[in-house]
Structure 1
Amino acid sequence: MPAPMSPASRRSRRRPMAEINVVPYIDVMLVLLVIFMVTAPLLYQGVEIELPRASAEPLPQQDQEAVLVAVDAEGNYYFSVGAAEPEAVDTDTLLTRVAAIVRRQPGTPVLVRGDQNVPYGKVVQAMVQLQAAGVPKVGLSTQMPDNAP
């Protein structure tokens, strides 16, 4: 016959466990981390452009004349090279002309001027068209404020 168990050994054996097993939580967190690392780059959409710095210093003078694409308040596009008079164009003509200039002279600066009342989407559309034409960098043209030094 087995020896009777003492009350002290009975208590130690039936004692509830007070520790929390965190291993499953760590596994779940690692899975979530991997999911977010994979999906985060897919959520980013946009036009790759290099925006001017906040100091808004004028661009250095170059030998080549800049291509200017203007968007008026109604969303119409205008194209000009250098100091030439802007000419109203549609998106296909804009794409063709800018692509031809960039192929001939790859370092030609391209600037976009947008009316302050034009919807932001129209300016972005112009930038997308310029990117499709092969322009690596697009500058945004602004006017100096009246109270600027």
Structure 2
Amino acid sequence: MPGPEAAGCVFCRILAGELPAHRVYEDEETVAFLDRRPLFHGHTLVVPRLHIETLTDLPEERVGPYFRAVRLLAGAVERGMAAAGSFVAENNRVSQSVPHLHVHIVPRNRKDGLRGFFWPRHTYADDAEAERAAERVRSALRAGPAAG
């Protein structure tokens, strides 16, 4: 259940002003600040003000405002860092270093040393295996959101 803040959450502490951060943007629902350990200078995190752990926990009425801020910041990071593009990513639980929803916006340039995704890619054995995976996702969509 989303709450105003979670005790001990690093991002909630930044939002409350208890920890320093280089803020680059704020609105009523969203704050963006530089990542303390950036992949490249300008690497920005966009977080909701409410303590929400994952994208699937984000209430539907907040999705639009949140991603409008992400979109705005993606363009600003690219322009501000004179980057050719950006990498925009978000993890849910696995590889999520802070359990507070956040989107990474990383400025990118050709031959910057970042090699695509940070994990190995795997192919499907054949079309049948791909279709089985697709059907599992379609089935989960038909079943609706999981009760939490």
TM-score for both structures, normalised by structure 2:
0.26
> Which of the two has greater helix per residue?
1
Rg larger in structure? 1
Normalised to the residue count of structure 1, the TM-score between the two structures is: 0.26
